[in-house]
Amino acid sequence: MARLVIDIGNTYTKAAIFEQDELIYTEHYKTLNTNILDNFLATYPIDKTIISSVKNTREEWEAGLKEKAQIIYFNAGMTRGIHNHYRTPHTLGLDRLAAVIGANYLYPGKNNLVIDGGTCITYDWIDAGGNYFGGSISPGVNMRYNALNHYTSSLPLVNTDKIFESNSGDDTETAMLSGVQNGVKFELSGFIESYSKNKNELNIILTGGDSIFFDTLLKNSIFAPCIKIEPHLVLKGLNAAIQKHND
């Protein structure tokens, strides 16, 4: 039987089909609806669904889905074998929790630093014993560009330039590129170096929409051999959580 994994974010909803650990299909939607879900149910023998949401309200399609497949709502208590030492677990973003669950499930017995590049950049570390103590949250790449434009009277809105590699800029736009993109690179390197101290076999797991870009920023660093790219880490973590729930 297949599992339907749904991750409802602020902007997009991601849906994925898993058969055991194998990711069969995934897609993201601006708006998920009953027709899309009915197509999933007609195509795959889905018996259970797990839903993770940043919203406090239910979606209209959930009632119809509940009539056709069991729904499990991901929550802070579904830790899938990790030891969550976060001081306020009820305030921990479910995407961050799912990501560390996914990291621990994919790479058990290893020290894992999860770096999620999205609207914000989050850094979450889980040790080889499955202990999670928390992490860090900083502005994402686009948020930094938007802030420079919004909070000044003369700086333009600049977009990420993935081939820009200069240490400095020779005009306003390239100076902003240097400030934001080199700033992110130095931030990434600084966090990784901090977590690497006295840690054996540290995996650096990049996920989120900017994961490939971050990999490019770090390609010439000493940390490059330790980098693993897992674009669907949150979905894989949710799938791992539902497996534990079924045990």
The reported pLDDT for the residue numbered 160 is 96
Q: How far apart are the first and last CA of the chain?
A: 15
The single-letter DSSP state of residue 156 is: P
Kindly give, in sequence order, each residue whose CB lies less than 8 Å from that of residue 199, ignoring residues fewer than 6 positions away: 111, 127
- Judge if 160 and 221 occupy the same domain: yes
Give the residue ranges of the chain where pLDDT is below 70.
Answer: 244-247
Would you say residue 241 lies in a domain? no
**Rounded CA gap, 16 and 111, in Å?**
27
Structure tokens at 128: 């080889």
- Judge if 40 and 130 occupy the same domain: no
Single pTM value for the model: 0.92
- Judge if 122 and 199 occupy the same domain: yes
The reported pLDDT for the residue numbered 135 is 96
For residue 75, which amino acid is it? N
Tell me how far CA of residue 16 lies from CA of 25, 43, 213, in angstroms. 5, 13, 23
Q: What is the CATH number of the domain that holds 11?
A: 3.30.420.40
Catalytic residue of the set 7, 95, 116, 210: 95
Task: Reply yes or no on whether 95 is catalytic.
Answer: yes
- Judge if 221 and 182 occupy the same domain: yes
SS3 232: coil
Domain span at residue 215 reads 83-236
- Judge if 33 and 146 occupy the same domain: no
Tell me how far CA of residue 111 lies from CA of 52, 202, 203, 219, 229, in angstroms. 25, 5, 6, 21, 15
The reported pLDDT for the residue numbered 57 is 83
Domain count for the chain: 2
- Judge if 58 and 117 occupy the same domain: no
Would you say residue 242 lies in a domain? no
The reported pLDDT for the residue numbered 247 is 47
